[in-house]
Structure formats: structure tokens, C-alpha cells
Amino acid sequence: MRRSLFGLTENTWLYLLLSLGAILTSLDFLMAFLVAPVVLGGGVGGTAMIGGIAISNQLLFSQKIFFFHVPVAISSFLVFFFTAYYGVRFLMTKDKKYDTRAKIATEVTLVFVILTLITGDLWTRFEWGTWWVWEPRLTTYFIMTLLVIAYFVLRNSIEDEERRATYAAVFGIFAFMDAPISFAITRLVPSSVHPVVLRSGGGLTGTQLAAFLMGMFGMLMIAWVMFRLRLREEFAGEHIEEIKAALEG
Amino acid sequence: MAETPKSRMSSWRQFKAILRKDIVMELRTKEMLTSMGLYALLVLVVYYLALAQVGSKFDVGYIAAGLLWLAIIFTSLLGLNRSLVHEKDQGCLDALLLSPIDRPIIFFGKSVGNLLFLLIVEVIIVPMFYFFFLSGQTLAGPFWMLALVLLVGSIGIAGMGTMLATMSVNTKGKDFILAVMFIPIMFPLLYACVGAATGVVMGDAAFVDGWVQVYWRSLGIAAGYDAIMLLAAFGLYEFIIGA
Amino acid sequence: MTEQTNQEFALEVREVSRTFGARKALDKVDFDLPRGAFLSIFGPNGAGKSTLLKVLSTLTIPSKGKARVMGLDVVEDSVPLREKIGFISHNPLLYPDLSAEENLEFFAELYCLENPKERVRELLVAVELDHRRLDLVRTFSRGMIQRLSIARSLLHEPEVIFLDEPYSGLDPHAMDILDGLIESIRDQHTFVMVSHDLAKGLQLCSHALILSKGKIVLFQDKEFIDEDEFAATYRSTVGLGVS
């Protein structure tokens, strides 16, 4: 593990990135409010005049959430990729360190995917007024949450370390393959009861896009920091185990 | 050294041996078939309980396909674990692994066996279901379309189910673990199959854009799911069976 | 690692380790065993005896190091190697719901033998189970099961035979049959046995190996074994009285 990059230790880097990530995410959030104006003093049920068209405040709120929700959603998927990636690496090498990484990547995925689910639900609430709709995105996130939970349930039910790592790797690969397929299916096969709610991205103006991208990078940074911190924690634990084993032998 | 010449290793022969063994054992004990069959009956009774108060305005046809697939899922969950418990019990799996068989052949043999049992159970459930809940109704589409959906879905369930059951049978809490993995992973397949089956049952009443179109699209996706996932399962099976 | 394999040796084990994380099941195990030898492996529980057997019989792969059995690498040539090895375990490795004949015929098919039915009958006679060949294995006594298990492992005429605590739970009659069988094929075969029975192990072996915590404590040709020294080493490692 590299001790220093550009003269800064890993610790410093982690805190730097964490701060940067937090700032970027917050900026993104703030700009969401700045870009689409909210009428001060207006209630949720009220409307605002923007460009001569009356838009309900509800929609405006939901638009704000968009700036947080979509980056989180994409981030969770990106991190999930690493679950599968480290799983593949483990199967190829049988090296425990890949299994550890896969587990941690999945932990980070869990955090992000739950956030995705919550923000997605909030968005639905503001836009449709109901707390849950079985529309493609929400359903897929829900399934993804279940897949990640299943990953941990599987891990916890096996005592043998190597078997646990192998099974988790294989399941992780399937789970990662399953997520986009679920998404595609809920869009392609129309639900006869619930109409497919297609959210048009609409045009994103320059500043909006900037805010969006900032949020993405910020979140990915935070995800990376979480990953590394957790990894260090695991290594410390394993180190202790090694010392214990050596003492006994 | 002994001189008896051996024939070349034939995967087909080994596959047949495994399939034959599973069939003979099942026919002898009838363990899987009876438990799955009875379970299906019980599920139908539960369905009646759920539908008992719906009144005459409710058209069961709308959820019929869903209920049918639900019954198939539950009976599968029950049967899949059993098919692998045999191997684990007497350490037979080790004997299989010690023989010069390619691991994917084991997967192939077991999956096809499970598929056959599942199809047999479906042959019983589908008419029963129709008899209890859809009597007098004509399907919007021809029966062969329904049979095709059942086949494509069952292939996916048997294949991925065997893969997941091979893992779950080695855990504490076998059946629970199987269910926890099975439902999310099979979700896309089941969704597509229910869609296609609903089309066949209800026709344009369910899909205003033309149910035939929806049917073929859903079936295509289901078949695609089967192809992708089973290919992956084929490749990954040797990792889990040796673990 | 010399790529050239020595035709003299049945086993060539080069610094085989099996670790996962911090846990070491085998630690740089290194030895050679000439063909036609009988190796008895002793050691306390958890010493890695079963793991070593598993690596040599291709059930698991080493994390480090290489091993060759009859000149074939246990990892790269595992499939052809499996045709040459037999395994007798304390687990029956038989299907209770199949008959003796069906069990053997199944395994004969897995090994793709040329004249399966005749070979099966031949072995059933050799283990004195021909009269019960149509009976289900679940009706057999422990001794009969072990005899059938021996028959199963010899179907394909292996050159190396692994034995994992084969005598445990056997009645004297079954023990005699096992002894007799080993004697009859002693000449052309190599044996590797894990046993807790020190007397039996020493009596049968030509080479002895003591493992402790994954490491070799002692590996000797029986000719050079000093009885007392061996007993002392054994006692101190295994912690049992010499029977």
C-alpha cells in the first residue's frame, strides 16, 4: 500500500477527499435551490409563476431532489460494479483480500442504494402524492436493495471462510447482472395496471449540468473514502487475528 | 497394471447417468413430486381464502397468471433444495467430484432433472388452477402460447434454482437462504413471464396496445434472461460445487 | 520446481501450502512417495491430514506449491488424474435409495467404463455382496455399506488409492475383507491412508508420515523407523497412548 502520494500520506488524502466530496455534494444541493427558484413564503400547495407558467411548488421540490437522487442512484450502481469485479478477482486468485474488498464494496453499495430508495420515494411523494408506486425505477431499486441484503444474509449463514468467500463472489456477480436486467424488464414489459412513468430528462442547462456532475463526483469521492476507511478497519482486524494465530502456534 | 481398456470419457454418457439416477431415485421415493404436488394444492386453498370475499365484479383473470406463477415459485422453492440434499447427505457429492466428470455436466444433469420434475408438477397445477378459478372462461389466446411461457420460465427457474440451491444447501437455514436469493434474482424472469401469461389469459383487456405484441416481447426478454443467466451459471458452477 | 516428473514416484509433493487468510491448513509440505508404496499418515485432529488427502485426490487445490500424482499435476491434469485414483472414506459415498447394483452402475457410467455391467458384477462378487445386489443400500449394515464402498472405489481400477479412516466403525468381518482386498491388489497399487489406528497403520505401511499443524513432523521409510523413537514422536505430537 502506497505510503505517500505527492508527499501526502493516505490519511491526509482520505480527509481531503472526504471534505472535498462533502463540499461538492453540498454545493450541488445548494445550486439545486438556486437554479430553480422557489417562491419565498409560498406553501407546498401553492404555485409559482415561472416564465409565465404556473408550476406547482411540489414539482419544484421534486426537481431539487433530482439533483441528489440521480447521482446517488448512479453511484450506487457504480459501486455495485466493484462487488462483482472483486468477486471475479477472488474467483481467479482465491486471495482473501479480494473477498474483503468485495464485502466492503457491497457495504458501501448498501448505504447508497438505501439512500437511492429513500430519495426516490421522496421524489415520488412530491410528484405523485403517494408514498410508493411500483414504477420501473423504484421497483428496480427495491430489488437491488433486496439483492444486497441477500448478499449479506448469505455471507452470515456460512461459517467456513473460503466457502463463504466463494459463494459470496458468485452471488455478487449474479446480483450485479440482475440489476440492469430488472431495470430493462420493468420498462419494456408494460404493467397493465400501472402505466410506465417515463421521466423525461428534459434539457439540462449548463449550470444545472455542472451542479449535477459536481454532485456525482462528490458522492463518488465519499464512497471511495468510506471504502478505504472500512478497508483499513478490516485489515486492522485481520492483523490482530494473524498475531493471535502466531502466538498460539 | 490392469489392462482393461476404458472408453473415452463421454460427457453425454455422464450426463445421462446423472439424469437417470435422479429420475430413478425420485420415482422410487416420490419425495419431491408428492411434496411439491401437495404443496401446490395447499397454495390453491390459500388462494381461495384470499379471493373468497372479492365478489362477482372482480375478474380473477387479471391476476390469474400472477397467481399461477406464484404457485410455481413456491413449489419450486420447496423442491429445489430437496434435489441437492441427497448429494450432501451421504457425502455423495465428493464421490461425484472425484470422478472425471466436468463440473458443468453435473449442473446440466441436475438442472434438467429439476426441470422435468417442475414440468410434471405444472402439468398437475395448471389444470387444477383452471378448474378452481377460471372455470367457464375462455383464454384470449391459444393454449400453446401459455405452454410456451411456462416452458421458458421453468427453464430459468430450474437452472438458476439449481445453481442457488447448490449454495443454499450448504448453509444454516437452507430454505430461507434459498428464498432470499431466489426471489430478487428471478424477479426479471418472473415479471416477464407473468406479463406474457396475462396477455394470453386476458388478451387486449389487459394490454390495450395489443397483447400479442406484449406477449412476444416479454417472451423474448424471458428467453434472453434464461440465455444470459444460465450461461453465467454454467461457467460459475464449478466454483461453487468445489467449495 | 522441476518440470520433469520422475517415473519412480507415485506422489511428488513440492512445498504444498493451503492457506486462507491467516489460517494455515498445510504449511510447505514436501515429500516423495515411490510407486507401490503404502503411506500411513498420522497426526492429531486439525493437523491437516484430511486436507492433504483432499489436495492429492483433487478435491481441493493448493494455495501454493505443486503436487503430482502418478506424474499428473493435481491442478492442471486433474481430469485425467481422476481416472487413476480411488477413494475409500469413512463416509459411504453411496445413495441409500438405490440398490447396490444401481449404485455401482451409476459410478461405472461416470467413469465411462467399457463393460460396466460385467465389471459391476465382478466387484459385487469380490466383496461378497452379489446376493444382495438388488437390495436398496438403505437396508445394508454398516459393514456391508463399507464393502460396497470399497467396490465402488475400485470400479475403474485406480492406480493410487486414498483411504480416509477406512476402518472406523467396521465389524471384524468387514475389516477382514478390506484387509484381503488390499492384500490382493497390494502389488501394483500405491496406497495413501489416513488413520487414527497406529498399530494398523504401521503394520500395513511402507512409509509413515506424521503431520502437526499443517507441517511434516516426520516422514520415514519404515525400514528406518526406530519403534520407540517413532512411538515417542507420535505420542508427543498426537498426544495419545500407543496401542
- Write the pLDDT tens digit of every residue in B38-74: 888 899 999 989 888 887 777 888 888 899 999 999 8
Question: Is C114 close to B86, i.e. CB distance below 8 A?
Answer: no
Paired with C156 in beta bridges are none
Q: What angle do CA B163, B166, B171 make, to 5 degrees?
A: 130
Residue A143 forms contact with B (CB below 8 Å): yes
Contact C160, C179 (CB under 8 A): no
Check pLDDT > 70 for residue A59.
Answer: no
> Is residue A139 scored above 70 in pLDDT?
yes
Query: Which of A7-16, C121-130, C183-192 has the lowest average pLDDT?
Result: A7-16
Considering the domain boundaries, does residue B53 fall inside one? no
Position B2 scores a pLDDT of: 45
Q: Within an 8 Å CB–CB cutoff, is residue B195 touching chain A?
A: yes
Choose between B4 and A150: higher pLDDT: A150
Subunits with at least 3 CB pairs below 8 A relative to chain C?
A, B
Number of domains in chain B: 1
Q: Mean pLDDT across the stretch C74-81?
A: 87
Report the percentage of chain A scoring pLDDT > 70: 72
- Helical axes B31-51 vs B61-89, angle rounded to 10°: 150
Which residue type occupies A243? I
- pLDDT classification of A206: cutoffs 50, 70, 90: low
Size of interface A-B (CB pairs under 8 A): 99
Q: Which residue is closest to A162 within chain C, CA to CA? A: C20
Lowest mean pLDDT among A99-108, B21-30, B205-214, C155-164: B205-214
> Is there a contact between C21 and A161 if contact means CB atoms under 8 Å apart?
yes
Please answer yes or no on whether B95 and C152 come within 8 Å at the CB atom: yes
Report the DSSP beta bridge partners of residue B92: none
A53-56 and A47-50 beta bridge pairing: antiparallel
CA distances from C208 to A165, B102, C171 (A): 35, 34, 25
Read off the pLDDT of residues C23-49 as tens digits, 9 standing for 90 and up: 788 888 888 888 888 999 988 887 888
Residue A123 near residue A66, CB atoms below 8 Å: yes
pLDDT, average across residues C135-147: 86
8 A C-beta contact, residue A65 and residue A119 = yes
Three-class DSSP category at C100: helix
Average predicted confidence (pLDDT) for chain B: 87
**Cβ within 8 Å, pair B170-A158:** yes
pLDDT of residue B83: 81
Report the pLDDT value the prediction gives residue B33, as an integer from 0 to 100: 82
Among residues C13, C8, C58, C5, the alpha carbon closest in space to that of C32 is found at C13
The Cα B87–Cα B162 span in angstroms is 13
Q: How far is Cα B106 from Cα B216, in angstroms, rounded to an integer? A: 32
User: What is chain A's percent helix, strand, coil content, to nearest 5?
Assistant: 75, 5, 20
- The residues pairing with C191 across neighbouring beta strands, listed in sequence order, are C38, C161
Residue B95 covered by a domain: yes
C-beta atoms of A185 and B221 within 8 A: yes
Residue A48 has pLDDT above 60, yes or no: no
φ, ψ (nearest 5 deg) of residue A158: -120, 130
pLDDT at A170: 96
Average pLDDT (A6-30) is: 72
φ, ψ dihedrals at A112, nearest 5°: -70, -35
Across the A/C interface, how many CB contacts are shorter than 8 Å? Answer: 18
pLDDT at C238 (0 to 100): 67
Between A19 and B76, the higher pLDDT residue: B76
Give residues with Cβ within 8 angstroms of C158, minimum separation 6: C83, C84, C85, C86, C189
B120 is a domain residue: yes
CB contact under 8 A, B102 and C110: no
Worst-scoring range by mean pLDDT, A57-66, A141-150, C140-149? A57-66
Q: Is residue B5 part of a domain?
A: no
Grid cell of C235 as nine digits: 505420542
Q: Which chains are within 8 Å of A by 3+ CB pairs?
A: B, C
Q: What is the pLDDT of residues A92-108, one digit of tens each?
A: 988 888 999 999 999 99
- Residue A249 predicted with pLDDT over 90: no
pLDDT at A196: 47
Tell me, what's the pLDDT at B17? 92
- Chain B CB contacts of A89 under 8 Å are none
Contact B89, B31 (CB under 8 A): no
Nearest CA in chain C to B20: C106
pLDDT at C211 over 70: yes
Confidence check: pLDDT of C11 > 80: yes
Write down the pLDDT at residue B190: 93
Of residues B2, B8, B91, nearest to C91 (C-beta): B91
pLDDT value, residue C114: 86
- Residue B1 falls within a domain, yes or no? no
Which residue shows C-alpha cell 465411462?
A: C112
Continuous segment of H or E residues that includes residue A137: helix A136-156
**ipTM here:** 0.89
Predicted confidence band of residue C242 (pLDDT cuts 50, 70, 90): very low
Contacts of C222 (CB under 8 A, 6+ apart): C202, C205, C206, C207, C208
CB B90 within 8 A of CB C96: yes
Q: Tell me, yes or no, whether B63 lies in a domain.
A: yes
Mean predicted confidence (pLDDT) in B189-212: 84
Whether C186 has a pLDDT exceeding 70, the answer reads yes
The verdict on a CB contact (< 8 Å) between B180 and A149 is yes
Domain of residue B223: give its range: 12-46+59-242
Regarding beta strands C38-42 and C190-194, do their DSSP bridges make them parallel or antiparallel, or are they unpaired?
parallel
> What's the Cα-to-Cα distance from B78 to each of B36, B123, B175, C142, C205, rounded to whole Å?
7, 17, 7, 31, 49
Contact A82, A226 (CB under 8 A): no
Residue B1: pLDDT band with limits 50, 70, 90: very low
Give the residue from B174, B167, B165 showing the smallest Cα distance to B239: B167
Q: Report the C-alpha gap between B189 and B224 in whole angstroms.
A: 9
| CB B33 within 8 Å of CB B120 | yes
- CB-nearest partner of C59 from B16, B86, B98: B98
Residue B76 located in a structural domain: yes
Predicted confidence (pLDDT) per residue in B66-98, tens digit: 999 999 998 888 888 888 887 777 778 888 888
Domain membership flag for residue B2: no
